Structure 1
Amino acid sequence: MEFSRYALYVAPPAEADWTRLATSWLGWDMETGTEVAAPDVPGIDVAAITERPRKYGLHATIKPPFRLAAGQTPAALFEAAEALCARLAPVTLDGLAVEQLGGFLALRPVGDTTALEALAAACVDGLDAFRAPAPQDELDRRRKAGLSPQQEAHLLRWGYPYVMDQFRFHITLSRRLRETDGPVADWLQAHLQPLLPRPFHIPDMGLVGEGPDGRFRLIHRYTLSG
């Protein structure tokens, strides 16, 4: 399959119970590249609430999606990603928690995130030679969110505003919630929260690609062995 964009994700372990539930919640399994039936939750339209984040799969963005720069190839990117991850150490967080972030629901880290932030910065920088400049329409769309001066500087330098000191680790679970969406947070707190790992280990990075259908698929996991 040809991919229009690539990214580095934290891709949760496929065999974990919490991963299976959260993947079903979103309705797209990026590991297998297949749709997954959403849970039937009375009073909540799960498909509508997860429509926007569904195409990305269950993930936390580390190196945001990018188009390949002129002269670069997927094979060279794969080799560079493997070499980069071989130099970086795995990270362990105290855990994850269902929280609200900017109006939507996400899994957020519990405890000290210093090592995680350093890992994300190294990945953003380490593969940047493969990133083509973001097109003007993408820059304009990002700016509609109302960026701070620092976020604008990151947008111009890295093609994405929420990196480096603006990075906030999160695994998106919903669109921006509305009053009519029902008790979404309550359901996730009751059903997903008890399954979340403590501690939460990040042993690898997932290189993903955006397919012709606009959905992201896991290409390969690279072990963090530094």
Structure 2
Amino acid sequence: MFERYALFYTPIGPLADFGAQWLGWDSGIGRAVSHPEIADIDVASITRTPRKYGLHGTLKAPFRLAEGCDVAQLQDAAKVFAAGQAAFGIGTLCLRYRSGFVALRPRNQDIALQDFAAAAVKVFDPFRATLTDAEIARRRKAKLTAQQDQQMLNWGYPFIFDDFHFHLTLSGRLGADDAAHVIDALAPRLENIVPDPFLIDAITLMGQDAQGMFHQIHRYALTG
């Protein structure tokens, strides 16, 4: 039994393999992976914060199961949702330094992706337990806007709908100079393994264990 659940996009193939090595955690097999050795970069240190999630893009942020809900129901809902959605491209992903961390982000805002993520937030919200006072207080440390605060109260997470920005996180907090150095190191390694255009072709149901690490429960292909 996992402590929390989430709906992520998780890549497959060479990008997934590299992401597991870079972050030090393969969520597909639930195992720590050795980091690559890169001169002048302490990969283990700069990836410590995102490591527990594995390489992913958040669709429905981690949540505790609501009373009366179980994992089998959540799996059924994920299967139905994926069967009703068609795979779609989101253009080119680029390495960018934004909000204090390095990530792969779409070059351009994609309406289909925004709508897809919004649908995931709404469809899976009935499975989410109400936030505790401690969880609310922790979220508010991020200095949320009024809209983000209300979204957090209503839907369990502040950065959704108009505030949603898809990304595959590759570092924790970094200064601008360090981020530039990391991007320079990552760019040639990712050049031939990031699909272009990038395809959103599945959702992955994730579970967080007692040690805080996320595991892939099942990856559901979008077949609508």
TM-score normalised per structure 1: 0.94
Q: Which amino acid aligns with 2:135?
A: E
Give yes or no for the alignment of 1:44 onto 2:57.
Answer: no
Q: Which moved more, 1:180-189 or 1:99-108?
A: 180-189
- Partner of residue 185, structure 1: 183
Tell whether the 8 Å contact from 1:97 to 1:196 is kept in structure 2 after alignment: no
Displacement of 1:19: 2.3
Q: Which amino acid aligns with 2:5?
A: Y
Displacement of 1:70: 0.5
Displacement of 1:212: 1.6
Tell whether the 8 Å contact from 2:10 to 2:16 is kept in structure 1 after alignment: no
Runs in 1 of length 4+ with deviation above 6 angstroms?
Answer: none
Distance in 2 separating the partners of 1:168 and 1:179: 20
Distance in 2 separating the partners of 1:196 and 1:225: 22
**Identity value in percent:** 45
Give yes or no for the alignment of 1:62 onto 2:59.
Answer: yes
Task: Give the total of aligned pairs.
Answer: 223
Unaligned runs of 5+ in 1: none
Unaligned runs of 5+ in 2: none
Displacement of 1:111: 3.3
Give yes or no for the alignment of 1:28 onto 2:25.
Answer: yes
- Partner of residue 147, structure 1: 144
Distance in 1 separating the partners of 2:108 and 2:212: 34
Distance in 1 separating the partners of 2:164 and 2:176: 28
Give yes or no for the alignment of 1:129 onto 2:129.
Answer: no
Distance in 2 separating the partners of 1:225 and 1:205: 11
TM-score normalised per structure 2: 0.95
Distance in 1 separating the partners of 2:49 and 2:18: 18
- Partner of residue 205, structure 2: 207
Tell whether the 8 Å contact from 2:118 to 2:161 is kept in structure 1 after alignment: yes
Tell whether the 8 Å contact from 1:50 to 1:175 is kept in structure 2 after alignment: yes
Q: Which moved more, 1:108-117 or 1:145-154?
A: 108-117
Q: Which amino acid aligns with 2:43?
A: V
Name the Cα RMSD after superposition. Answer: 1.4
